[in-house]
Structure 1
Amino acid sequence: MRTTFKTLLLALPLLVAGFSASASDSAAGRWRTIDDETGRVKSIVEITQAANGTLSGRVLQVLQSAQGPNPVCSKCEGTNKDKPIQGMTILWNLRPDGTNKWANGTILDPAKGKTYSSKVALIENGSKLEVSGCIAFICRSQTWLRDQ
């Protein structure tokens, strides 16, 4: 009995390490978006992964906005026009594209009201997410930080 207990105690840290390693293999979770121009945290985005492996992300909280509290997407067109940015889906249809990479999706920049072709990749053991948005061959990238 005592040997079984000691074995369980020794195995527990390995079990916990296994769970934490596998959690970082997915882009699903909460992310702090970092403005690539100012370096400041702008918002918290929650990324979810559908059963088919595609990713989508919505803004949970706006932390920094030139419009002040409760900003709206005034430059957006269509159904997002003048809608609150908080709660808005800004990332969708990203499909798996290799290990810890997703591509061929779309990202919305609410500040500019424009959509871009998008891809994301987990870096630094899943603690950061490299997010790119492109029009033709012109791309912009941001590095988002996992929100613990």
Structure 2
Amino acid sequence: MKTIKIPTLAGLAAAMLAPTPAIAATPIVGRWLTEGKTAIVTVAPCGATLCGRITTLMKRPESGPPVDAKNVDPALRGRPLQGLPILTEFSDAGDTWRGRIYDPQTGKTYKSVVSRDADGTLKVQGCIAFLCQTQTWTAVRN
């Protein structure tokens, strides 16, 4: 005769409280060509979070290096666009990365959600409340 073990209440509770693997967002570290093909942004660790800097400008003006002319802070308007951090404080939020994005064309910073699509592109959203504007960035191969 077979003995059937019936789980105890304590055993069921322990099984329900056991850690389950967390869902992690697909990594976004790398070099990305912006949707308008105006810049390459390099995403890399910055302390405990990720950030993205403009590392290459694809179109340069004829006179002098491009600067952050539209920044709302007049003291920052002379800083060069190349090297400028535009993605900051990004952390893994499960299936997406969440942080802040700076738009040098408007001089404003927005909440941002970034995710990597199955085709390898990066979906980059800048949001005000529930309204988001989305761009698709493509991976840069060396």
- SS of 1:71's equivalent? coil
Separation (CA, whole Å) in 1 of partners of 2:67 and 2:46: 27
Partner of residue 56 from structure 2, selected from 52, 61, 79: 61
Pairing of 1:22-101 with structure 2 (within 5 A): 25-35=26-36, 41-50=37-46, 52=48, 54-64=49-59, 70-78=65-73, 80-99=76-95, 101=96
- 83-92 vs 42-51, greater mean Cα deviation: 42-51
- Structure 2 Cα separation of the partners of residues 50 and 71 of structure 1: 24
CA contact (8 A) 1:76 1:82 kept: no
Q: Match of 2:127, as an amino acid?
A: C
Residue in structure 1 matched with residue 5 of structure 2 by the alignment: none
Unmatched segments (≥5 aa) in structure 2: 1-25
Distance apart, 1:50 and its partner CA: 4.2
Q: Answer yes or no: is 1:139 the counterpart of 2:135.
A: no
Q: 2: distance between equivalents of 1:85 and 1:76?
A: 11
User: What is the root-mean-square deviation of aligned Cα atoms in Å?
Assistant: 1.8
Which amino acid is 1:26 matched to?
A: P
Determine the C-alpha separation between the residues in 2 that align with 1:139 and 1:29.
Answer: 23
Which structure shows the higher helix fraction? 1
TM-score (norm 2): 0.72
Task: Return the TM-score normalized by structure 1.
Answer: 0.69
Deviation per residue, 1:74-101 (Å, 9 max, x gap): 11033532211111001100110113x2
Structure 1, unaligned stretches of length 5 or more? Answer: 1-24, 36-40
Query: Is it true that 1:129 corresponds to 2:122 in the alignment?
Result: yes
Larger radius of gyration between Structure 1 and Structure 2: 2
Secondary structure of residue in 2 paired with 1:34:
coil
1:106 and 2:124 equivalent?
Answer: no
> Residue 66 of structure 2 aligns to a residue in which SS?
coil
